[in-house]
Amino acid sequence: MIKKCLFPVAGYGTRFLPATKSMPKEMMPVVNKPLVQYGVEEAFDAGMTDMAFVTGRGKYSISDHFDISYELEAEIAGTGKETYLQDIRHLIDNCTFTYTRQKQMRGLGHAILTGETLIGDQPFGVILADDLCINGEGSVLKQMVELYRQFRCTIVAIEEVPMEETHKYGVIAGEEIRDDIFRVDTMVEKPAAGEAPSNLAIIGRYILTPDIFDILRATPAGRSGEVQITDALMSQAQKGCVMAYKFKGRRFDCGSVDGFVQATNYCYENIYKSRK
């Protein structure tokens, strides 16, 4: 039903310096797989096959990762090591990968608008690969596609966070119309302590309807000179067109060192060891 998934991967990843000085944050491996591959696998699990990336300077290793590596593959052909490339080969064989560059880092909203040329006029998924989501049965984006089928409007994934951490997120409020599903009526980007309308924080998974592009074009840059996706979503929410979904599964903030280490430990114990 939704074929395209957008990956904004242009950010500088300053919280991970110096590791991200010349390496994209999205290529950092959680155990033996780069973050961005977890994201593409999630989109594929949700039925999406057109992977669209908004990249920036110094991000070539992402496009190299989703391409054949002839020398390496010839070298290990016929050996037991071929199995290490099985999953990535499956993605390469079954998906398309397109890229455009965000010339200036003007925020997530601006990155998504930059992706319009790859998406066109259709609903699409968005994955922020530094939010790693793990769920045994049915990826988080797959759960969201199911909801899109029912509501045909923008869906954002949310998670309860401690009140003292709401300043790191876009925070929603709205009516819970069903277990774990809210019709959003308010959204605030990174609310100051004590000003959050709830503790329901938006995480890096969205299904967006294509009217978001016109809204983003008309959205002025906020405080930090960045175009915030939350501001554009708020304008959809005012028309009753945004649902928030408390997803099933675990999410790790791999843009932070703590979250990245937790994800690594979790994936080593629960995924890597069981496949060895």
Pick the stretch among 75-83, 86-94, 106-114, 162-170 that binds ligand UTP (CB under 6 A).
106-114
Closer to ligand UTP by CB, 25 or 183: give it.
25
| Count of residues near ligand UTP by CB under 6 A | 20
DSSP 121-179: SS-EEEE-TTEEEE-SSS-HHHHHHHHHHHH-SEEEEEEE--GGGGGGSEEEEEEEEET
Q: Among residues 52, 108, 141, 201, which is the contact residue for ligand UTP, using CB under 6 A?
A: 108
Side chain identity at 70, as an amino acid letter?
Answer: Y
Binding status of residue 123 toward ligand UTP by CB under 6 A = no
48/128 with CB nearer ligand UTP: 128
Its sign, for the CA torsion 155, 40, 26, 256, is positive
Any contact of residue 271 with ligand UTP (CB under 6 A)?
Answer: no
Count the residues in the chain: 276
CB 204 within 8 A of CB 11: no
6 binds ligand UTP (CB under 6 A): no
Residue among 34 and 174 whose Cβ is closer to ligand UTP = 34
Cβ atoms of residues 170 and 201 within 8 Å: yes
The smaller minimum CB distance to ligand UTP, of residues 181 and 212, is found at: 212
> Which of the stretches 66-74, 107-115, 207-215, 237-245 binds ligand UTP when contact is defined by CB under 6 A?
107-115
Among 4, 5, 6, 25, binds ligand UTP (CB under 6 A): 25
Between CA 85 and CA 88 the distance in angstroms is 6
Restricting to residues 56-95, name those near ligand UTP by CB under 6 A: none
Considering the rule CB under 6 A, would residue 119 count as an interface residue with ligand UTP?
no
Q: Per rule CB under 6 A, is residue 102 in the interface with ligand UTP?
A: yes
Encoded amino acid at 105, one letter: M
By the rule CB under 6 A, 141 interacts with ligand UTP: no
Rule CB under 6 A: is residue 111 a binding residue for ligand UTP? yes
Q: Choose which of 10, 43, 133, 254 interacts with ligand UTP (CB under 6 A).
A: 10
C-alpha dist (Å) from residue 117 to 9, 93, 129, 241, 266: 16, 23, 20, 23, 37
Complete DSSP assignment for 33-65: EEHHHHHHHHHHHTT--EEEEEE-TT-HHHHHH
Strands 50-55 and 4-8: parallel
Of 178-207, binders to ligand UTP (CB under 6 A) are none
Question: Does residue number 255 form part of the binding site for ligand UTP (CB under 6 A)?
Answer: yes
